Amino acid sequence: MLLLQFFIPKLAHSSYILAGDSTCAVIDPRRDVDIYLDAARSLDLEITHVIMTHLHADFVAGHMDLAELTGATIYAPRLGQCSFDHVSVGEGDEIVLEDMLLKVIDTPGHTPEHVSYIVVDTSRGNEPIGVFCGDTLFVGDVGRPDLFPGRADELARKLHSCLHEKLMRLPDFCEIYPLHAAGSLCGKAMAAKRRSTIGYERLYNAPLQIRDVEQFVPALTENMPSAPDHFGRSTVTNTRGPALVRTLPYPRPMSPRAFLEASKHEKAIVLDARTYEAFGAQHIPGAYSIDLDTNFPTFAGWILPPDRDILLVASTADDVDEAVTWLRRVGHDNTIAYLDGGMPAWARAGLQTGQVGQVSAIDLHRMLTTEPDTVVLDVRSTSEFEEGHIDRAVHIEVAQLRTRHGELDKDKKIVLVCRGGNRAMIAASLLKQRGFHNLTNLSGGMTGYSAAGFMKQH
């Protein structure tokens, strides 16, 4: 038995290859599946199983691509009622892979159909060696049960039940192979560590310490982090079976004038994936800013309207490629063009540009005194804001600006603040689309503001 773990940052997504001597399974694959094909080839393994713990809310998975490219069989939870070819599994089912036995248990909670796979390596013994627990149990956290409108209470109770009546009955030494780590929005306080054991989590996992279900339910359903818009859409896509990546369009280069024309189409949106500083310097009026260096996929899923033709602005061909991959991972499949020559070419074509200025921590600190009317708008998450903020800052999370922008005065100067500088530029782009014009970005964000010594320690 061999276990390989593949981690994507930003989505903080772990997938796995579980291999015997000549065949292997891929558990919860990412959508761009070359990495599994390469690993299997280098180890002389045939991919025969594609195994899904659930129908993922936060990303579009690669099960269809893998099955098509390898001929592998897809295993998916019975309750998911998937419409693609697959073997449906549920409590009590077993999958055999050479010497290994995968015992299916239903573990609803994060999603209603969620199952986990307990692995027994029969070549070594009959006790479980590990469990693919998907989004049920994380290192230091559990899967959030609040993503299905109106069902949070029900799902939280189911989660509590399957955690304590199923997973916690596994032996201490049993390894856990979760789907996410710190950075994912499928939980609220995951650790950075990517794997753990039943025994260690039994002792120290905070939600697991809440044995009383009546305390557990509010703890897991109230004051939860906001859920991005695509969390609903991705589940539907995964259940239906996503389009094969090889059938998707790849963006073609487009001259500035053609790009401008294309941007006028009602289905089109302009997405600028350059750094926040480049966007601030000059951008196409109306464009969305999502810096590739921030949590690009999550914000792309969150703030970009679905089913649009995306016109991309990026700095290099590599960045185009990277942006397209991330967009597909959250279900934005139609990136049809990129701006040939980038913004310098746009400017040389004499086309209109917009600007958002930067302010350094030092200069903002001075402005707090000299400019009493300037609004400081903090767009971080609630938990970040609560850990410390500039005294007079107004707080509206970035994605909420789409509905709460009316709370702000368009005529005032607004300094946008986030952790590092790039989420604030997303916010700026949303506000500019809504007619705000006097916006400045705190470059370096609260990280820089703190590093400069301007935050009092509480």
User: By CB under 8 A, what part of segment 225-244 binds a copy of itself?
Assistant: none
Q: Is 193 in the site for a copy of itself (CB under 8 A)?
A: yes
| Binding test (CB under 8 A) with a copy of itself, winner from 192, 240, 249, 307 | 192
For residue 35, the one-letter residue type is I
Q: Is 265 in the site for a copy of itself (CB under 8 A)?
A: no
Q: Is 443 in the site for a copy of itself (CB under 8 A)?
A: yes
Token pair 């000549």 in the structure block, residue: 22
* Residue closer to a copy of itself (CB basis): 353 or 383: 353
On the 0-12 / 13-18 / 19+ scale of CB atoms within 10 A, 92 is exposed
C-alpha span between 101 and 388 (Å, rounded): 49
| Binding test (CB under 8 A) with a copy of itself, winner from 71, 96, 169, 204 | 204
How many residues bind a copy of itself (CB under 8 A)? The answer is 74
**Minimal distance, residue 260 CB to a copy of itself, in Å:** 12
Using CB under 8 A as the binding rule, the residues of this chain from 359 to 388 that contact a copy of itself are 360-363
Q: At what angle do helices 296-303 and 317-329 cross, to 10 degrees?
A: 60
| Binding test (CB under 8 A) with a copy of itself, winner from 68, 93, 154, 293 | 293
Q: Is 199 in the site for a copy of itself (CB under 8 A)?
A: yes
For residue 256, the one-letter residue type is P
* Residue closer to a copy of itself (CB basis): 112 or 251: 251
Contacts 24+ apart (CB under 8 A), 404-409: 405/430, 405/431, 405/434, 405/436, 408/375, 408/377, 408/436, 409/375
Which candidate, 232, 243, 236, places its Cα nearest to that of 333?
A: 243
**Minimal distance, residue 198 CB to a copy of itself, in Å:** 7
Pick the piece of the chain touching a copy of itself (CB under 8 A) from 27-35, 87-95, 192-200, 395-403: 192-200
**Minimal distance, residue 444 CB to a copy of itself, in Å:** 3
On the 0-12 / 13-18 / 19+ scale of CB atoms within 10 A, 84 is middle
* Residue closer to a copy of itself (CB basis): 117 or 346: 346
Pick the piece of the chain touching a copy of itself (CB under 8 A) from 77-85, 86-94, 272-280, 384-392: 272-280
Q: Is 51 in the site for a copy of itself (CB under 8 A)?
A: no
Contact letters for a copy of itself, residues 91-130 (x by CB under 8 A): ------------------------------x--xx-x-x-
Q: How far is CA 317 from the centre of its chain?
A: 23
* Residue closer to a copy of itself (CB basis): 124 or 392: 124
* Residue closer to a copy of itself (CB basis): 438 or 450: 450
What is the H or E stretch that residue 329 is in? Answer: helix 317-329
Q: Is 445 in the site for a copy of itself (CB under 8 A)?
A: yes
* Residue closer to a copy of itself (CB basis): 286 or 305: 286
- Cross-strand bridge partners of residue 271: 288, 312
| Binding test (CB under 8 A) with a copy of itself, winner from 168, 219, 243, 281 | 281
Phi, psi of 333 (to 5 degrees): -95, -10
Q: Is 448 in the site for a copy of itself (CB under 8 A)?
A: yes
CA distances from 401 to 294, 404, 405 (A): 18, 5, 5
206 and 155 in contact (C-beta within 8 Å)?
A: no
445 and 417 in contact (C-beta within 8 Å)?
A: yes
* Residue closer to a copy of itself (CB basis): 394 or 452: 452
CA atoms within 13 A on the CB side of 185: 22
**Minimal distance, residue 55 CB to a copy of itself, in Å:** 28
Using CB under 8 A as the binding rule, the residues of this chain from 316 to 355 that contact a copy of itself are 316, 340-341, 343-344, 346-353, 355
Contact letters for a copy of itself, residues 150-179 (x by CB under 8 A): ---------------------xxxxx----
Pick the piece of the chain touching a copy of itself (CB under 8 A) from 89-97, 193-201, 226-234, 377-385: 193-201
Q: Where are the beta strands (DSSP E) in 137-218?
A: 137-138, 141-142, 175-178, 196-197
327 and 10 in contact (C-beta within 8 Å)?
A: no
* Residue closer to a copy of itself (CB basis): 18 or 155: 18
Using CB under 8 A as the binding rule, the residues of this chain from 407 to 436 that contact a copy of itself are 420-422
C-alpha span between 170 and 129 (Å, rounded): 10
For residue 21, the one-letter residue type is D
Q: Is 191 in the site for a copy of itself (CB under 8 A)?
A: yes
